[in-house]
Chains A and B, each alone.
Chain A
């Protein structure tokens, strides 16, 4: 592990949405739902900017793990600071399964024409699927 020059000796995680700062805490390990798969960040990670997908953000603290559903966005890792910028961050327990199911079925039934609209539908679909996945995960 490369030695960090900065004084930050602990990993900090900040989750911000346009409305508020959802979380600002120390963590031992952060799992990020990137656009194309999960990525784990521990202490001393190299600087990185990543695009988030729809999925679950897990922040392992000293003795418990906080889980959030994040709705796309970005992550920036530098100097042991993980900044997560997302449109929405909901606690995993609060994800509404019924609403997600409804979104999924309505998106599946929606007819599209053209590439742009297809992309928009795909986005809605993956959003709904990710929420369902989190809501149905056995506790």
Chain B
């Protein structure tokens, strides 16, 4: 029979663990709500940009921009992997690292030169462990990525792309679909395949308003394309932040429940052991009395 005191000790430590995971779950929930608010605030901007682009294309403008065209012979590729700074979020970082590595090998076989940039300590460690040289690493993105920070990175990519130092940019991140679903996504952001995601579908809807373009549709297009790239990248960061919090929330909820179950089990074992010990002591006593008689 197990030692009741030992069982009690284990039960206590599990209780402490449960308290910690429970707190982490609550923190993740609060952060998730904040991140979610930010993400939905950003949608207002993206919706309007999409609307603007669709109005622009409706005016019969030929959409052509260096950022939209793929290069004939791409030489230099870049891979950006968005992971988390912290762990305790089940498979979130692991799947990202795995997908990132797979994409890295793919790119490596296609292009002679591939750079890797990673956001998040976990991803940096994961790639470092597998001996992949990381060219740039970011750790400043927590649950609230700010547009200025992303803008800085996006501007650098754009500059490199325009000056010919970069031919392709792939991003690996977790896309937020709904609270119960997040998808691992590998996307090619440069060259931008198309502007707005659903421009074609909206084409038919509504009577087109005749817009006046100031100074000219071309000039607006010239500005819209880089902006929509920046916004897309920003959205990746936001989605990643939201998904991370959700993953942590789910993982910690499961951990808390699991700890609860363990405690129940241990309590039962403990009670049984205690009862067993009492019984055996009583048996001893009774046996002694019997012997005396």
Contact = CB atoms under 8 A, between A and B. Distances in A.
Interface in A7-24: 16-21
B162 A76 contact: no
Interface in A98-136: 114, 116-117, 120
Interface string A26-48: 00000000111001000000111
Contacts of A48: 211-214
Contacts of B159: 116, 120
Interface stretch (B1-9, B12-20, B41-49, B279-287): B41-49
B56 A49 contact: yes
Contacts of B163: 114, 116-117
Contacts of B55: 49, 76
A51 B44 contact: no
The size class of the interface chain B forms with chain A is: 20 to 34
A127 to B, nearest CB: 12
B97 to A, nearest CB: 28
B223 A74 contact: yes
Interface in A53-104: 72-74, 76, 78, 83, 85, 87-88
DSSP class of B's interface residues: helix, strand, loop or mixed?
helix
Interface residues of A, number: 29
B214 A51 contact: yes
Contacts, number: 89
Contact of B211 (A47, A83, A87): A47
Given A18-B234, A76-B52, A51 B42 contact: no
A16 B209 contact: no
A102 B151 CA distance: 20
A116 B166 CA distance: 14
B215 A36 contact: yes
Given A17-B147, A18-B234, A34-B214, A49 B52 contact: yes
A78 B59 CA distance: 15
A51 B226 CA distance: 13
B219 interface: yes
18 contacts: A16-B45, A18-B42, A18-B231, A18-B234, A19-B41, A35-B215, A47-B209, A47-B211, A48-B212, A48-B214, A49-B213, A51-B215, A51-B220, A51-B223, A74-B220, A76-B48, A87-B151, A116-B163
